[in-house]
Structure 1
């Protein structure tokens, strides 16, 4: 019995830790992000389609999250998508044709741009365009938020 209680506490602690927060995305364009879990709460900003978020908790039909700039807010759960996306964290980053710095640069991406995640390999993420899903190439995971 003590083992079950201990294991339950460990799982609860891990799931409630922001480091283990679920990464999802905004599934509609121009979604209102609010200061609290209600339509009566103040709109603090609008999020675009594909905007990656790390969900920290849920309350009823609402989710509380943090974004790539560490801003926090509430969004109605039906506006959250399971489509994995990422936003570029650095001013300019190279995208390569294969995972690894020795491979050819095929594109450059810029801070704040949002892409669909279409693959993963070790410390590398394969990016694609959100609409249409055309693949672009590989970028180091540490240059992105969301995965």
Structure 2
């Protein structure tokens, strides 16, 4: 074999090796490129399953398996049952009278509540509706309701003429002789209210007489005064 044949064979071998190498590199690139391209495909994010809405079990029905236990109901603390030493055991409602000539009537039981009215008449009868420590809820003869300090009230009993002109009589009877005619808004001291009967004996400006219960505010229709 001549030298040129050996050179030709060597050249052919080298070209074959080069082609094979090139094919191998191309195959590797294609495989790598496919894998790279697959890694770029967006993948949906897997969200955790949404837990079912937990509903309270029907009374008498056992809760479903795996269901969360119902939340505990928080109850407010019970109100204290200890009564303030300033509160009395007297019946409610009851009548009393204003001790002073000026008293602040507030919308609630405390100085933090605004003043709604100012009562300016001493001995004016009021009805006590409720008690709250040192405060008393009262109502006057015109229907005004508010809170005053207990120190502004007195147990002295009085009545006030309401409606039209009242008639003071010398006996507890509608046919008895009139002693005086009293204008609405006049205050009298309550002396007695016997039962059975619809009349009360009062004193107005040193004048004493009997007046029908329906003509005054400050005594109940079936109340006995003084109390037995």
Q: What is the TM-score with the length of structure 1 in the denominator?
A: 0.79
1:1-147, aligned counterparts within 5 Å? Answer: 21-47=93-119, 48-121=121-194, 122-129=197-204, 134-147=206-219
Higher-Rg member (1/2): 2
Task: Name the SS of the counterpart of 2:193 in structure 1.
Answer: strand
Task: Render the CA deviation track for 1:60-91: whole Å, top value 9, x for unaligned.
Answer: 10000111111100010011111111111122
CA distance in structure 1 between the partners assigned to 2:136 and 2:184 by the alignment:
26
| Cα RMSD for the two superposed structures | 1.6
CA distance in structure 1 between the partners assigned to 2:154 and 2:142 by the alignment:
20
Shift of residue 96, structure 1, vs aligned partner = 0.3
CA distance in structure 2 between the partners assigned to 1:115 and 1:32 by the alignment:
23
**Inter-CA distance 136–46: structure 2 relative to 1 (3 Å threshold):** farther
Q: What is the TM-score with the length of structure 2 in the denominator?
A: 0.52
Query: Quick check: which one's strand share is greater?
Result: 1
Consecutive aligned runs of 4 or more in structure 1 exceeding 4 Å deviation = none
Shift of residue 46, structure 1, vs aligned partner = 2.0
Shift of residue 134, structure 1, vs aligned partner = 2.9
Q: Which runs of 5+ in 2 are unaligned?
A: 1-90, 220-228
